[in-house]
């Protein structure tokens, strides 16, 4: 019965619609426009701290492109083949060979009109990568993605709970924000664990159940 219950919650997929923008409204708008228009600036570099939403945006952009019928691919720690939309996450993880591959991919995307999205922890000028790649990544649009404040995280948690099909009382969110890890991916993971725990017990989400999950 437990296994059946765990399969009830719908899968959560990062999209541009379920991304809580906060101070990143301009970045979100630019990304939407670039994907819809398929013209203008085709290179976009997004940087910011872990947990700020870089991976969410890159995966969501690829998903939106695929739904629109475009050839699109996402990679983290590696460099995929050229496509109409390519997203490369965590550029700092690339070794020398992969950095050369990304440099070549950048040039191919630029020549073909394809879109290239790259993310990293630092602005291009401070990246620990090859000089030629660092220069290329600074040529296109560069945006810093800002982490959410507590009010925005509360909104993100409510939205995530609704997407999974369960109600999240305010006191549960408050406790999680006060006692959980601060980055949004960890908060969402705890929320998922709470949802599964509630399904197993056939009980509504509550602070006592959240405490059990966080032990």
Q: In what order do the strands lie in the sheet with 85-89?
A: 72-76, 85-89, 115-120, 43-47, 141-144
Q: Are 84 and 115 in contact (CB under 8 A)?
A: yes
Per-residue pLDDT of the chain (215 residues; tens, 9 = 90+): 233 333 444 566 889 988 988 899 999 999 999 888 766 568 999 999 988 899 999 999 999 999 999 999 999 989 999 999 999 999 999 999 999 999 999 999 999 999 999 999 999 999 999 999 999 999 999 999 998 888 988 988 998 888 888 888 999 999 999 998 878 888 888 999 999 999 999 999 999 999 999 98
Region class of 105: left (phi > 0), else alpha (psi between -120 and 50), else beta: alpha
State the pLDDT at residue 54: 94
Query: Residue ranges per domain, the chain?
Result: 22-144, 148-214
Q: Are 165 and 10 in contact (CB under 8 A)?
A: yes
**Residue 4 burial (10 A CB sphere; 0-12, 13-18, 19+):** exposed
DSSP state string for 113-182:
T-EEEEEESS-GGG-SS-HHHHHHHHHSEEEEPPPP-HHHHHHHHHHHHHHHT----HHHHHHHHHHS-S
Instruction: State whether CATH 1.10.8 applies to domain 148-214.
Output: yes
Q: Which CATH superfamily, name and number, covers 22-144?
A: P-loop containing nucleotide triphosphate hydrolases (3.40.50.300)
Task: Please give the model's pTM, rounded to 2 decimal places.
Answer: 0.81
DSSP state string for 16-31:
STT---GGGHHHHHHH
- Domains 22-144 and 148-214 fall in the same CATH topology: no
Residue-wise burial string across 107-133, b where 16 or more C-beta atoms lie within 10 A, e elsewhere:
eebeeeebbbbbbbbebbeebebeeeb
């Amino acid at each position: 019965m437990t296994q059946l219950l765990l399969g009830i919650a719908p899968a959560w997929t990062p999209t541009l619609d379920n991304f809580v923008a906060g101070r990143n409204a301009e970045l979100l708008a630019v990304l939407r426009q670039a994907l819809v228009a398929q013209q203008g600036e085709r290179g976009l570099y997004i940087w910011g701290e872990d947990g700020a939403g870089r991976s969410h945006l890159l995966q969501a952009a690829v998903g939106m492109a695929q739904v629109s019928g475009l050839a699109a691919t996402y990679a983290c720690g590696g460099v995929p083949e050229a496509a109409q939309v390519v997203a490369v996450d965590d550029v700092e993880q690339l070794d020398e060979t992969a950095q050369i591959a990304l440099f070549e991919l950048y040039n191919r995307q630029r020549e073909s009109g394809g879109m290239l999205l790259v993310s990293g922890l630092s602005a291009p000028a401070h990246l620990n990568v090859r000089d030629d790649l660092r220069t290329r990544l600074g040529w296109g649009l560069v945006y810093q993605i800002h982490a959410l404040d507590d009010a925005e995280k509360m909104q993100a948690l409510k939205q995530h709970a609704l997407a999974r099909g369960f109600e999240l009382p305010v006191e549960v969110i408050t406790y999680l924000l006060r006692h959980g890890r601060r980055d949004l991916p960890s908060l969402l993971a705890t929320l998922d664990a709470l949802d599964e725990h509630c399904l197993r017990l056939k009980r509504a989400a509550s602070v006592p159940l959240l405490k059990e999950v966080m032990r």
